[in-house]
Amino acid sequence: MIADTLQVGFLPLVDAAPLIVAHEMGFAAEESIALDLRRGPSWSAVRDMLSFGRVQAAHMLSPVPVAAALGLGGTGTPLSAVSVLSVNGDTIGVSNALAARMRQSGHDFGYRDARAAGAALIAHAEHPLRLGVPFPFSMHAELLYYWLSALGMPAPQNVDIRTVPPSLMAQALEAGEIDAFCVGEPWGSIAVENGVGQLLLPGNAIWSFSPEKVLAVRSDWAAAQPDLVGRLIRAVWRAGRWLAEPDARTLAAELLSRKEYLDLPSELLDRALTGRMVISQRGEERQVDRFVEFHRGAAGFPWRSQAEWIGMQLAARTGLDRAAAAKAARTVFRSDLYRDALANTRAELPGASSKIEGTLREQTAVASVSGRLFLEPDAFFDGRIFEPSKD
């Protein structure tokens, strides 16, 4: 059987792992597809490559297709998220100067408590606090807005959130253009390694189960190629399952470090994959559970409620009609296509396609299509819950 070749865009980040593994470990070949992985220079370039059909699928920031559905940024081409590629995986870091002030007043850099870290940051930041994020429509930006406004430091009055490409984040911190950042790995670790900053908090301390990257395709392509979409979803799901095996991490770090992918030392990539983060140049280590998750807790399932949460955050900030935004956003995460693709596999799929976000404080068994599925904690640090509109 001759394989169908799919061009797939990605950015050099640890959470591109499911696509790289699907290709390198033969999970794509099992579905008779060949992935032609194309490394993109920027998120806007990858989004446009997808919109104009230069690639058929892409590693994409979860808010980008939602923003497109709300008419924010991009070319107006409707995009669909057919799977979540990764949950969590961001890290917040601060400049050495800011870290020194925070340490002096007793903050322990425990890399765990969002309330304590946020309070220390707010107490010692200059005003306005300048924060770098990779893209205006990113989970990084959403987590920062949510965290800082919940702690009484709302944007944009006191916070200046700026776009800095991940690969330039450490440089921007060193040049004093920003005081802090939220970025995907390994770019936070690179700031530590270069001695320009220290890590303050993992993204999952703010929201313990945030959809970080999605597998995005053009909506019209998904409608025209249901079979190819299904094969792609299955290949990526199997890659995620493989990545969840503890033994797989060393090899995954080696694969990702190759020249054509991240082209960075595997030791740096290993940190996010194992959750053993080095937070300062002095070598202080912090172990983080679920630093980045590719599989457990139905990580790949594109919950409509996740898309709706993103849509509501974007609408609130840009002054769009909330009800309309919620409605447009929820259709972007294609739990329907995901279910179809994995119907005859061993994947445990949840019974519902939408859930109240933020209620789970620990691992919880829920009804699944074929039996029982364990969902991972999905709480927000401030205990708020998000109730999506009814199906």
Partner 1 sequence: MVTLSIVVVEPDRDRALLIVDSLRDAGDFDVHVISEPTGLARRIQAISPDVVLIDLENPSRDMLEELALASGPMDRPVAMFVDKSGAGLTDAAIEAGVSAYVVDGMQPGRVKPILDAAIARFRMFQRMRTELAETKRALEERKMIDRAKGMLMRARGIDEDAAYALLRKTAMDQGKRVAEVASALVTAAGLLG
Q: Which residues bind partner 1 (CB under 8 A)?
A: 41-45, 48-49, 51-52, 54, 72-76, 134-137, 156, 162-165, 167-168, 172, 175, 177, 318
Contact 210, 204 (CB under 8 A): yes
Backbone angles phi, psi at 102, to 5 degrees: -70, -40
Q: Which is nearer to partner 1, 74 or 230 (CB)?
A: 74
Confirm if 89 and 118 have CB atoms less than 8 A apart: no
Give 172 or 325: the residue with its C-beta nearer to partner 1.
172
Identify residue 182 by its one-letter amino acid code: C
Residue 63, Cα to own-chain centre: how many angstroms?
Answer: 9
> Which residue lies nearer to partner 1 by CB, 162 or 296?
162
Shortest CB 293 distance to partner 1, Å: 25
Least separation in angstroms between CB 177 and partner 1: 6
Nearer to partner 1, 54 or 339 (CB): 54
Tokens 């597809």 correspond to what residue? 33
Residue 84: strand pairing partners: 214
Cβ proximity to partner 1, 42 vs 331, nearer residue? 42
Q: Cβ closer to partner 1: 60 or 373?
A: 60
Minimum CB–partner distance for residue 135 and partner 1 (Å)? 5
Nearer to partner 1, 296 or 317 (CB): 317
User: Max CA-CA distance within the chain?
Assistant: 65
Angle at 76 between CA 304 and CA 142, to 5 degrees: 45
Q: Where are the strands (E) in the chain, listed by range?
A: 4-10, 33-39, 57-61, 79-88, 90-95, 129-133, 159-163, 180-184, 197-202, 211-218, 276-278, 285-287, 292-293, 364-367, 372-375
CA distance 210 to 299: 9
C-alpha 32/C-alpha 232 separation (Å) is: 10
